[in-house]
Structure 1
Amino acid sequence: MSVLGIDEITFGAADLAKCRQFFSDWGLHLVAEEPQELVFESLNGCRVKVAHSDKPGLPAGIEADPTLREVVWAVGSIAELEALRTRLAGQPGYVDDGQRIGCTDPNGLAVRVQVTRKRVLDLPCAQTNTWATRGRVNQPSPAYDRATPVEVGHVVFFVKDLAATTAFYEQHLGFVVSDRYPGRGHFMRCAPEGGHHDLFLLQLPEPRAGLNHVAFTVRDLHEVIGGGMHMSRCGWSTELGPGRHPISSALFWYFISPAGALVEYYTDEDELTADWQPRDFTPGPTVFAEWAIKGGIDGQTRRQVNADAPSGRFMTDRPKD
């Protein structure tokens, strides 16, 4: 039994109009709209819901809205869902409607599991020419005017009890620790073989429960850049990026979200197998980002925010001293 990844997430928020605009600009497709709920889809059918904070039946939040209220994980078959039904039965907040089962994790988050509704995609992606491998021949790399995220790739939470929350995901959902900030954070993947992390749990010096960010997978670095510059042109604020995480190797760009905390475009994370041995890191700015641009890139000038616009001259076209 292996969890395949995230199938659906639900935010709780008060300003649905602002969230509608934000996630439309982000590149998600609005598939349903009601007075108290918006439903978006990514390219592969991963769903992002934004429900009004007052909507009846919305799971309790782990912090004040806006925040993430529910995460739905995917399995590949009914048989695998049945196996998890046995594992989760008896857990706090257990629910079972026949198609979806779930409970409340030790951090207070509503966790659900269902047979995946995501579509298998065959997407063209940029090839990178290195000294050793020349995969892109007679073909320029792509450029994107905006991003269309493939799926929700991972979620990151602040937790009150790192050990208890980690044990829950290991014992009940089969997650595996990829890397660690000892006593402070655990990067976890759904199965022994997969991307570097689907879930990252962080315990602050003064522990609390809360959302850190939601990350959306895109095809390649060029889509991270094109998506980020489109968001900048639309007036949304960068928290950090573009940049690169040395722990997972992923390239990123973070934006402040009206649905709560941050959202991230990312690509090119490490692929791991059961042979991988978790590493220990000390948290710090250079561990978080090998390099990063504070404030982002302006979508109009295509330079760092608040930098001078390009003049059209060659960089060396200036008088010598």
Structure 2
Amino acid sequence: MTNRVTGVRSVELGVRDLHQSAEFYTKVWALEQVGAESECMHFRATGGEHHVLTIRERPKPALLGVHFAANDRAAVDALCAKARGYGVEIEADPAPLDRSAGGGYGFRFRTPDGLPMSISSDRVQHPNVVLDRSRPTKISHVVLNSARTDDQIPFFIDVLGFKLSDTTHMMEFLRCSADHHSVAIFRNNGPSLNHVAYELPNIDGLMRGTGRVKQNGFDIEWGIGRHGPGANVFSYFIEPNGFVAEYTTELDQLDDATHVPQGPDYWQKVMPMPDRWGTAGAPSNRMRAAMSGALYLGEEADLRCEDIIGRKLG
């Protein structure tokens, strides 16, 4: 399929306190602010993508968008036509995009679960790739919660052009490049955001980045370990709005010509625990709640986020 999604560009989040959140994502998470509008900020990683994160001030935290890449305008138009034909809501038809956010050409839509997304081409790329192994290079993957997984998978595969990499009893892993997964769907109450994973260059970089986050007062809620499907190294944190943010590295690279997806029985047999090394332990109770979306969607979020957002960031 030539008209398909080719990667994750960025994630867009609604946050309670724009400047407090910006302080976390720059000083602690090590992104760099590259633009701002009214009640909105954009942040880049060290790679070429114009930005990997947008935050907008909102009364309550919310997932406002997952933004994907396509090769060119023709692919954007074709993907929009396929999405419309599939019956999902098109929020904005293909058109030139705001230059302050990298420009380009794209459209906005909602998944069958109602989550907001967009696809674009021709976004401005940074010519200077920053060499700092302790900082994120890009968005590695986004995991979404859904109570209707069987409705979501065909949309991502048949409309957006993703391929199935692996399936466990709890998750479906989908790829749109050589990366083992750029999107995963978690069988859970939903729809909601489970977590966003940011890629580090190597294990040493992940350890250094994890150390920086810990030194700024944020506990590792799960990790450090190495997952089963994808084999990526991980450390998980809860950021000031109750969203789960992951540092990850060494995600498996797959060859479409040779890769054979494995199913739940295979993974249960060879990898009964979600950590190959056995070092990570179980996710904290707070992490489990955050991954379900509870910390940013419900009353529990109000209590926990007030605690988190009050932490000293230095």
What is the TM-score with the length of structure 2 in the denominator?
0.76
Q: Which residue of 2 aligns with 1:92?
A: 88
Say which structure is richer in helix.
2
The whole-number CA distance in structure 2 between the counterparts of 1:232 and 1:258 is 14
Aligned partner of 1:19 in structure 2 is: 21
One-letter amino acid matched to 1:48: L
The Cα shift of 1:155 comes to 0.3
User: Contact 1:28–1:40 at 8 Å: present in 2 too?
Assistant: yes
For 1:121 and 1:73, locate their aligned partners in 2 and report how far apart those are by CA, in whole Å: 22
Q: Mean alpha-carbon deviation: is it higher for 194-203 or for 91-100?
A: 91-100
1:123 CA drift (Å): 7.8
Distance 1:276 1:119 in 2: 33
1:77 corresponds in structure 2 to 72
Post-superposition shift, 1:203?
Answer: 1.1
Give the Cα–Cα distance (whole angstroms) in 2 for the partners of residues 88 and 178 of structure 1: 22
* Letter aligned with residue 195 of structure 2: H
Q: Deviations over 1:6-31 (max 9, x none)?
A: 11210011122331121112110011
Is 1:198 the counterpart of 2:182? The answer is yes
* Residue 286 of structure 1: how far off its partner (Å): 4.7
Determine the C-alpha separation between the residues in 2 that align with 1:148 and 1:280. Answer: 34
Alignment counterpart, residue 189 of structure 1, candidates 175, 184, 192: 175
TM-score by length of 1: 0.74
Of the three residues 257, 271, 274, the one matched with 2:239 is 257
- Aligned residue in 1 for 2:141: 154
Deviation at 1:116, TM superposition (A): 4.8
What is the rounded CA distance, in whole Å, between the counterparts of 1:42 and 1:120 in structure 2?
13
The alpha-carbon deviation at position 279 of structure 1 amounts to: 0.8
Which stretch of the first structure deviates more once superposed, 90-99 or 237-246?
90-99
Are 2:263 and 1:280 aligned?
A: yes
**Quick one: which amino acid aligns to residue 239 of structure 1?**
E
Q: 1:105 aligns with which of 107, 111, 115?
A: 111
Distance 1:159 1:120, change over 3 A: farther
Q: Which amino acid aligns with 1:67?
A: A
Aligned to 2:201: 219
1:209 to 183, 191, 208: 191
Matched to 2:89, the amino acid is: G
CA deviation profile, 1:146-165 (whole Å, cap 9, x unmatched): 72211111000110200111
**Secondary structure of the equivalent of 2:245?**
strand
Q: Does 1:51 align with 2:56?
A: yes
State the partner residue of 1:245. 227
Contact 2:13–2:54 under 8 Å retained in 1: yes
RMSD: 2.5
Distance in 2, Cα, partners of 1:152 & 1:210: 18
Q: Distance in 2 between matches of 1:212 and 1:122?
A: 29
Structure 1 position 121, deviation (Å): 7.6
Q: Distance in 2 between matches of 1:119 and 1:16?
A: 24
Q: Tell me the SS of whatever aligns to 2:156.
A: helix
| Counterpart Cα distance in 1 of 2:261 and 2:130 | 31
Which residue in 1 is equivalent to 2:160? 173
Deviation at 1:38, TM superposition (A): 1.8
Name the counterpart of 1:114: 120
Aligned to 1:73, what secondary structure does the other structure show?
strand
Deviation at 1:214, TM superposition (A): 0.2
The amino acid that maps onto 1:171 is D
The 8 Å contact of residues 80 and 94 in structure 2, kept in 1 or not, is answered as no
> Number of matched residues?
261
Rounded Cα–Cα distance in structure 2 between residues aligned with 1:166 and 1:222:
35
Task: Determine whether 1:266 maps to 2:271.
Answer: no
Q: Which residue of 2 aligns with 1:314?
A: none
Q: SS at 2:221's partner residue? A: strand
Gaps of 5+ in 2: 96-104, 284-314
Q: Please name the residue that 1:41 is paired with.
A: 44
Tell me how far apart the structure 1 counterparts of residues 127 and 175 of structure 2 sit (CA, whole Å): 20
Following TM superposition, by how much is the alpha carbon of 1:228 offset from its aligned partner in structure 2, in angstroms? 0.2
From the superposition, tell whether residues 35 and 121 of structure 1 become closer, same or farther in structure 2 (CA, over 3 Å).
Answer: closer
Distance 1:47 1:232, change over 3 A: same
Shift in alpha-carbon separation, 1:292–1:210, aligned structure 2, 3 A: farther
| Structure 1 residues 84 and 242: alpha-carbon distance in aligned structure 2, compared to 1, 3 A threshold | same
